Structures are given as structure tokens and as C-alpha cells.
Structure 1
Amino acid sequence: MSVTRCGTRLSRAFLSSMALLLGIASVAAPEAQANDQIKRGEYLARIMDCGGCHNTGAFTPQPNLETPLAGSEIGFEVPGLGVFFPPNLTPDHETGLGNWSKEEIIAAVTTGARPDGRELAPAMPWRSYSALNTKDAAALVAYLKSLTPVSHKVPGPFGPDEKKTAPYFTVAGPQ
């Protein structure tokens, strides 16, 4: 009889422990999944070379890696179209993507369309990024939204006949 009670107590203790662990796991699982999604997004941002243009000082010998994806103060001139500067991709509400929804960011990256109706600069390789699957696009957005907001307004854009106030590269067409 005492063995049965002991066995019952062990079973209840075991079940209580398992319920507690499962409860903790169910609370921790969404956080772990979110962290995995952010890490996946960071990986994608690296292989997509977002920092190659969107980091402050990206086109200099010493890019600022302390404020990743805060935008560049050096732009690209596309003859006949104007000068475009890689914008701030941090979640800053004034100068970055802080007011953009997940869907708006995904649309910009995969279709080249900004929420305000303008097209992204011609240098942005959105046609290549249009192949992102839904899960990867969501991971990229999760990463961008996880960045520390950086208040950094980039210059421009400038139309072809406007005075340029910041340095830029000129993209020359084939001769």
C-alpha cells in the first residue's frame, strides 16, 4: 500500500513537474522563436549586403558599424534621374522605418514600392530581393525592427536639376 502511495506521489510529482516545465516552455517558446527570427533576419541582412550601402560611412574606408543600417551620407547619381542616398533602416520614427508597417517594409524590399508611392532608388536591388519567401521577408523585418533606433536623416533625394548638398558617386551608363 505504501509503495502504491509512493508511486502515486511520484507520478503526481512527476506530472506536476512536467506541467510546470511545459508551462515555462510555452511561455519561453514565443520569445525563443522571436530571437531565432531576428537572428535569421540579421543573417539575411548580412548576405543581402544591406550594410554595404545603408551604413553611415559605407562608401568610406571606415564605415560606422556602431549604428548599423542608419543610412549613408554619400549617394549615387543616376544620370537623368537624380541623386539618391541609402536611407536609414533603423526603427527611428523621424528618420527611419519606425512608422512603416511590416507589410510596407516587405513591399519596399520585394517590389521597390515605398508607402508614399515613390519608387526606391534604381541602385536598390529589389528585383533580386523579390525572391524572398514570406518567412525570410518577415525575419528581415523583425531584425530591422529590433535595431536600436538612430536619428540620422540622410540627404536628398535630389532631382537632376537640383543643387546637391552632399557627396555622391556618379553611375555612368555604357559608352
Structure 2
Amino acid sequence: MLVIIRVTDGARDMKTVTTALAALAAIVATDPADAQDRLKRGEYLANIMDCGGCHTPGVFLGKPDQERYLAGSEVGFQIPGLGIFYPPNLTSDQETGLGSWSEAEIITAVRTGVRPDGRELAPAMPWRAYAALNDADAQALARYLKA
């Protein structure tokens, strides 16, 4: 993509340049190739962060159901004094997954261990390990989980 912006002088021209740059930024931000790259990055992060290692049915029984990847687990973690915690559905399902969560809410939960309703995530969730996730990677992960 080649962009040429002619600059003369005066405040009006500076406003034109600013408007042109803002339009260019919007075009670049919505580039489908960039969006695909971010989804691939999010998928990569979900894999290396081992989200499926807890949130995929059958994984704790030694037979992960990859057709239901990230759909939650039927086997829970028993934490003395707190109860049993079942890894929830991380798919984009509106009712049982993260479909009703915004990307910002997913990022907050991954980084701080706090759900949109203010409740803390289960103690087994290693959010502290993900707290330093940079913004681009956090957004890529959230976008992938919403896809």
C-alpha cells in the first residue's frame, strides 16, 4: 500500500494530514491479513499456555476430545476448604462459554484472575503466570477465544 500525503502549511493542512493518518490507521488495523495473523497468534498462545490442558473434555482421563477443544472439563480440582472447581468452557458459546464476555473482560480475567462479575477465578487457574502478557498477545488470545 502506497500512501502519499501532500503537506503545505497552515492549521487546515495539518488537520487534513491528521485526518488522513487516522484513516490510514483504521485501514491498517482492519487489514484481513493482520486479523488472520492475530488469530493464528492467539491460537499459538492458547496452545503454549496450555489452555486445553485443563479446559478440554477428557483431558484428565487421558483421552482429550479435540472436537470439543476448550469446551470445559467434566473432571474438577478438589481444593480443601473451598470445594471442587471444574474448568469452564472457553469457547465462544454465548450461554456456556466466553461469547458474552468482551475481549477486555477476557484479558482482565487472564491477567488478574477476576471475572466480569467480580468473582475470582478458581485457584487452579494460573493467571499469575499470565499477568505479564503484553497487550498485543493478550488481545490476540482474547480475539482467538472469541472467534
Task: Give the counterpart letter for 1:71 in structure 2.
Answer: G
Per-residue Cα deviation, 1:56-106 (whole angstroms, up to 9, x for no partner) = 111012110012100001000100011100000001011000100111000
Higher gyration radius (CA): 1
Per-residue Cα deviation, 1:141-162 (whole angstroms, up to 9, x for no partner) = 111111xxxxxxxxxxxxxxxx
Indicate the SS of the match to 1:59: helix
Alignment gaps of 5+ in structure 1: 1-25, 147-175
Task: Give the counterpart letter for 2:119 in structure 1.
Answer: R
Alignment gaps of 5+ in structure 2: 1-26
Which residue number corresponds to residue 46 of structure 1?
A: 47
Q: How far is 1:43 from its partner? A: 0.5
CA distance in 1, matches of 2:85, 2:138: 24
CA distance in 1, matches of 2:65, 2:106: 23
CA distance in 1, matches of 2:142, 2:36: 13
CA distance in 2, matches of 1:51, 1:107: 19
CA distance in 2, matches of 1:58, 1:99: 25
Q: How far is 1:52 from its partner? A: 0.2
Q: Percent identity?
A: 67
Per-residue Cα deviation, 1:15-51 (whole angstroms, up to 9, x for no partner) = xxxxxxxxxxx69x71110100000001101100000
CA distance in 1, matches of 2:56, 2:114: 21
Q: Alignment RMSD, CA only?
A: 1.3
Task: Give the counterpart letter for 2:136 in structure 1.
Answer: K
Runs of at least 4 residues of structure 1 off by over 3 A?
A: none
Indicate the SS of the match to 1:131: coil
Indicate the SS of the match to 2:31: helix
- The count of aligned residue pairs is 120
What's the TM-score once normalised by structure 1's chain length? 0.66
CA distance in 1, matches of 2:62, 2:101: 31
Indicate the SS of the match to 1:38: helix
Q: How far is 1:53 from its partner? A: 0.1
Indicate the SS of the match to 1:44: helix
Which residue number corresponds to residue 88 of structure 1?
A: 89
**Aligned ranges for residues 1-175 of structure 1 at < 5 Å?**
30-146=31-147
CA distance in 1, matches of 2:132, 2:54: 20
CA distance in 2, matches of 1:45, 1:112: 16
Identify the structure with bigger relative contact order (alpha carbons < 8 Å, sequence gap 6+). Answer: 1
Indicate the SS of the match to 1:118: coil
